[in-house]
Amino acid sequence: MMRTGVVIGGGVAGLVTAIQLAARGVKVTLFEKEAALGGRFRSVQAGDYFFDTGSSTVLMPWVFERFMRQSGESEPLPFVPLEVNSRHFFYNKTIVDLSADPDIMAEQLDGFSPEDRQGFLDYLTETGRLYETVEEWMLEESGGQGGKRFSAKWLKAWFSIHPFVSLDSFHRRFFSDPRLIAMMNRLVTGGRVSPYEAPSFLSFIAYLHLVQGTCFVEGGSGRLIELLEKRARSLGVAIHLNCPVERILVSGSHVAGVRAKEENWSAQLVVSAVDNIQTQTELLERTKVKHSDQPGSSAFLCLWGVKQPFPFLHHHNYFYPSDYWRHDIDLFDQQRWTESPIIYVGNPSASGQGRVATESRLHVKVNVPLRKMDNEKPSYTAYRDLLLFLLEKVWGLKGLEESLEVEEVYGPDELDLRIGTQEAVSPGKMVRRFRPRFHDPIRDRQIKGLYYTSSVADFAEDPSFAALGGIRTAKRIEEDWKGEMRAGAVR
């Protein structure tokens, strides 16, 4: 008899999980509370402009290519490599391009920080080793083979990733130039967690940027979501939009389905691909739920359609004020909206993929405190005006305000609603210093048949990490089923 399953959430992790389960013969129903799929990687339209609400960076395109092949899809995916991964602007007019091209990087280091050239090579070697360890024990491991945990090999791997060293301290072992340290910290964390608290193993993300290279999705993240939706529907996944799940149903110690649209939907397994805290408190009505004890971050996001190009911008751009160190202190220690922001500006038009010729689609983002403290929160209009002033008057985007045609502004509350998570773009507890966990909870410890998409999705604001979360969850489910069949055969 065909197994039945429910997936809660239609972001990348939810769609990938649904595809993986459907390809294994499960009758899958997916519920999404919004009117469109995609979660944090949705695309939105404002006037004639199309914007990605989340990151358009794809660090591991092979994750999508592999799992789509395994699910029976042969259509090529629209990933395009970037020659320059990101451009970094400093207050003293220094401009640095980061690239996976060794010739470009050698030229950049010679002109920017020649004393750190050998340290940079050593850094790539060490982060490459970290990537291999993380790939084996976190990215590819489903967590189902419990015997590996705390084995001699596991402990050796755990200590090899420098678990008691912060990311910032790790970077200072290789670099002397504070600007280079600031770039590496930002490249790895994206401002989502403090580099003074994040564990050093996250530096494997820099290896992906600087050795493997960065891609973007031709046509925007919405194009990727369209392909995932098409594949899911072709495998028989029933997708319900505008349909929030009200509760996860439990019978005894086993999941029984979900309640949505004021009716009960029975299922033999349920996968929650939404925020874990939301799942525990709202869908399971659990009262004893441990929240993160360290501050994360959300974001203030402006989507600007501008009727002029900015030729000096690349696809990904970062602007550092003179007191750029102040940003992390304000954000994580003081938990306030900083007046000295490190500003990220995404400009897909620079890659020749703008849907409106000779114009710019700017994705302007600043990390802001996650926790809601209304007395510390400036008005969105005032903060938007600050960013506009800094970009135009300080950083040289001349004519920006005058050429602004359309805009949408999202604060933490709006992103909270759109993404469907109580932690917005914050990473989970999995990436806190001293607590890098090789095995995050994919399967609920109390309710049989209830699973969660893996929190490797929290490592980076990148759809390939979200996809890995779904892949690991589907793999764990399959391992559990095989274990049940073996146990049944023995009986």
Number of domains composing the chain: 2
Q: How far apart are alpha carbons 232 and 30 in whole angstroms?
A: 10
What does the pLDDT read at residue 142? 54
User: Could you tell me if 202 and 223 lie in one domain?
Assistant: no
User: Could you tell me if 233 and 157 lie in one domain?
Assistant: no
User: Could you tell me if 151 and 197 lie in one domain?
Assistant: yes
Is the backbone of residue 266 left (phi > 0), alpha (psi -120 to 50) or beta?
beta
pLDDT band at residue 434 using 50, 70 and 90 as cut-offs = very low
Task: Write out pLDDT tens, residues 57-70.
Answer: 899 999 998 888 88
User: Could you tell me if 197 and 245 lie in one domain?
Assistant: no
Cβ 409 vs Cβ 301: under 8 Å: yes
User: Could you tell me if 202 and 246 lie in one domain?
Assistant: no
Task: Write out pLDDT tens, residues 188-239.
Answer: 988 888 999 899 999 999 999 999 999 998 888 888 999 999 999 999 999 9
User: Could you tell me if 128 and 197 lie in one domain?
Assistant: yes
For 132-149, what is the mean pLDDT? 67
Q: Output DSSP code: residue 287.
A: S
Which one of 211, 236, 263 terminates a domain? 211
User: Could you tell me if 188 and 238 lie in one domain?
Assistant: no
Over 80: is that where the pLDDT of 367 sits?
A: yes
User: Could you tell me if 108 and 167 lie in one domain?
Assistant: yes
Note whether residue 406 is domain-resident.
no
Closest CA to 19 of 199, 231, 165: 231
Which one of 164, 188, 211 terminates a domain? 211
Note whether residue 321 is domain-resident.
no
Cα-based distances in Å from 196 to 169, 199, 314, 333, 343:
7, 8, 28, 11, 20
Note whether residue 193 is domain-resident.
yes
pLDDT band at residue 47 using 50, 70 and 90 as cut-offs = confident
User: Could you tell me if 185 and 284 lie in one domain?
Assistant: no
For residue 427, how many C-alpha atoms fall within 13 Å in the half-sphere facing its CB? 26
Note whether residue 476 is domain-resident.
yes
pLDDT band at residue 300 using 50, 70 and 90 as cut-offs = very high
Cβ 297 vs Cβ 332: under 8 Å: yes
Range of the domain at 109: 103-211
Question: Alpha helices of 235-275 — where are they, by DSSP H?
Answer: none
What does the pLDDT read at residue 487? 75
Note whether residue 477 is domain-resident.
yes
Over 80: is that where the pLDDT of 294 sits?
A: no
3-state DSSP percent of the chain in helix, strand and coil, to 5? 40, 20, 35
Find the farthest-apart pair of alpha carbons in the chain and give their distance in angstroms, rounded.
75
* 3-state helix/strand/coil string of 75-102: CCCCEEECCCCEEEEECCCCEEEECCCH
CATH code of the domain covering residue 246: 3.50.50.60
User: Could you tell me if 202 and 247 lie in one domain?
Assistant: no
Which one of 183, 211, 239 terminates a domain? 211
Over 80: is that where the pLDDT of 306 sits?
A: yes
3-state secondary structure of 4: strand
User: Could you tell me if 9 and 154 lie in one domain?
Assistant: no
User: Could you tell me if 198 and 262 lie in one domain?
Assistant: no
Note whether residue 400 is domain-resident.
no
More confident residue, 192 or 432: 192
Strand-pair partners of 269: 5
Question: Alpha helices of 11-148 — where are they, by DSSP H?
Answer: 12-23, 61-70, 102-112, 117-134
Note whether residue 170 is domain-resident.
yes
Cα-based distances in Å from 146 to 7, 465, 474:
25, 23, 17
Q: How far apart are alpha carbons 207 and 123 in whole angstroms?
A: 9
Mean pLDDT of the chain: 86
Q: How far apart are alpha carbons 136 and 151 in whole angstroms?
A: 14
Note whether residue 454 is domain-resident.
yes
Task: Write out pLDDT tens, residues 375-417.
Answer: 556 789 999 999 999 999 999 999 999 999 999 999 888 887 7
Closest CA to 189 of 205, 174, 177: 205
Query: Vertex 458, ends 453 and 460: CA angle to 5°?
Result: 130
Cβ 374 vs Cβ 368: under 8 Å: no
Sign of CA dihedral 227, 233, 234, 235: positive
What does the pLDDT read at residue 422? 42
